[in-house]
């Protein structure tokens, strides 16, 4: 069990990652010039309520551990914002790229 509550450092999630029975939402934040590092990435549930937030890695990677349902990933950055929605079902990796402009 994690003895903290803060978001861990984010890393890329390879497509063949074993999600160990969890629904994992992962992706990359991109800006006008490719991968955008350091954006604040928020996970919202189907009602639009906040569920979690991480800061994307220098390469724009982020990851959430969720459940089946409707989700929106919203990214905030000094250069702008962007979001993408996805519906998840069975445990596994769901890729959610988000463009910020």
Partner 1 sequence: MSREDVLVTTAWAEENLSTPGVVFVEVDEDTTAYDGGHIPGAVRIDWKNELQDPVRRDFVDKAGFEKLLSEKGISNDDLVILYGGNNNWFAAYAYWYFKLYGHDSVKLLDGGRKKWELDGRELTTEVPTREKTDYVASEQDLSIRAFRDEVVDAINTKNLIDVRSPDEFTGKLNAPAHLPQESSQRSGHIPSAANVPWAKTANEDGTFKTAEELAELYAEAGIDTSKPTIAYCRIGERSSHTWFALRELMGLQDVKNYDGSWTEYGSLVGVPIELGEK
5, 33, 34, 90: residue in contact with partner 1 (rule CB under 8 A) = 5
CB-CB contact of 10 with 54 (8 Å): yes
CB-CB contact of 62 with 26 (8 Å): yes
CB-CB contact of 59 with 34 (8 Å): no
| Structure token pair of residue 3 | 């003895």
Site track for partner 1 across 37-76, x = CB under 8 A: -x-x-xx-x---xxxxxxx-------xxxxx------x-x
Q: How far is the CB of 26 from partner 1 (least distance, A)?
A: 11
Q: How far is the CB of 82 from partner 1 (least distance, A)?
A: 13
């Amino acid at each position: 069990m994690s003895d903290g509550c803060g978001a861990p450092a984010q890393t890329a999630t390879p497509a063949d990652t074993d999600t160990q029975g969890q629904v994992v939402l992962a992706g990359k934040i991109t800006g006008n010039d490719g991968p955008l590092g350091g954006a604040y990435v928020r996970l919202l549930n189907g009602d639009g309520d906040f569920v979690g937030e991480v800061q994307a890695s220098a390469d724009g990677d982020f990851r959430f551990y969720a459940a089946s349902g409707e989700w929106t990933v919203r990214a905030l950055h000094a250069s702008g914002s962007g979001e993408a929605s996805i519906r998840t079902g069975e445990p596994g990796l769901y890729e959610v790229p988000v463009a910020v402009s």
